[in-house]
Amino acid sequence: MSWKSIYWDDVGEDDELPTQTREITRTTIVATAIATRDFTPVHHDHEAAQREGATDIFLNILSTGGFIGKYLTDWSGPEGELKKITIRLGATVFPGDILTSGGKIAKKYTDGDKHLVDVDFNFTVPMGPHAWGTATVALPTKG
């Protein structure tokens, strides 16, 4: 697989990022909880999740952050650099949900020698908005 870098010179404010979808399975939820060292039972034990009031196990916050970072760096390419991410959380992600990711460039600017964009991103599941916020990404230039 080859990766393509997005250049600051080639993007503009209000440009849409590509939409991505990801099926969230039980394995996804358990594996990402383990990968983030979150052994809280609600992320791997159905009965424990129900005792806590949830209908099933659910995705942890660190995994959401990882999916956001992956979405943004998949878009920017290997030369893009995440500088800042602000995340707000909403609807829970359960097994069987389709997580849909999207975004738009809200601002394009320079800061010293850095060429930056602020991206407004949003992640949704069938229940509604799951996570949204703004990320600052440094992009390479052609010059």
Q: 24-37 pLDDT, tens per residue?
A: 999 999 999 999 99
Structural domain for 82, as ranges = 8-138
* The one-letter amino acid at 73: T
- The CATH number of whichever domain residue 127 belongs to comes to 3.10.129.10
- Report pTM: 0.94
Inside any domain, residue 105: yes
Count structural domains, the chain. Answer: 1
- Environment class of residue 91 by beta-carbon count within 10 Å: exposed (0-12), middle (13-18) or buried (19+)? middle
- Length of the chain counted residue by residue: 143
Does 1 score more than 80 pLDDT? no
First-residue to last-residue Cα distance in the chain: 26
CA distance 91 to 129: 6
How does residue 3 score in pLDDT terms, banded at 50, 70 and 90? confident
How does residue 98 score in pLDDT terms, banded at 50, 70 and 90? very high
What confidence tens digit (pLDDT) does each residue in 111-130 have? 999 999 999 999 999 999 99
* Mean pLDDT score of the chain: 96
Does 88 score more than 60 pLDDT? yes
How does residue 143 score in pLDDT terms, banded at 50, 70 and 90? confident
Inside any domain, residue 96: yes
Inside any domain, residue 143: no
Taking alpha carbons only, the member of 44, 130, 49, 133 closest to residue 93 is 130
Average pLDDT over residues 77-88: 97
